[in-house]
């Protein structure tokens, strides 16, 4: 990794569910359908989502209003 590369900031499940009022099951379903950003496996028992992708998804939903 070079000095110009940046590591994306991740949101953990708790933070995502605070921002997105859907159940974990519904979020998984939407991920499989390509309607929600895919999670990133961070460890054996931990996943996260790229913050920029979640923020963009929210902006897109707000733009549809």
Average pLDDT (6-24) is 91
Residue 2 burial (C-beta neighbours within 10 Å; 0-12, 13-18, 19+): exposed
**pLDDT category, 63, cuts 50, 70, 90?**
confident
Statement: residue 27 has pLDDT above 80: yes
Mean pLDDT rounded to a whole number for the chain: 90
Alpha-carbon distance of 42 to 54, in angstroms, equals 17
Model pLDDT, residue 3: 54
């Amino acid at each position: 990794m070079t000095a110009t590369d940046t590591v994306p900031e991740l949101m953990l499940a708790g933070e995502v569910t605070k921002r997105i009022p859907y159940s974990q099951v519904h979020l998984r379903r939407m991920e499989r359908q390509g309607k929600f950003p895919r999670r990133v496996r961070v460890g054996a028992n931990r996943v996260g989502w790229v913050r920029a992708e979640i923020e963009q998804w929210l902006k897109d939903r707000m733009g549809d209003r």
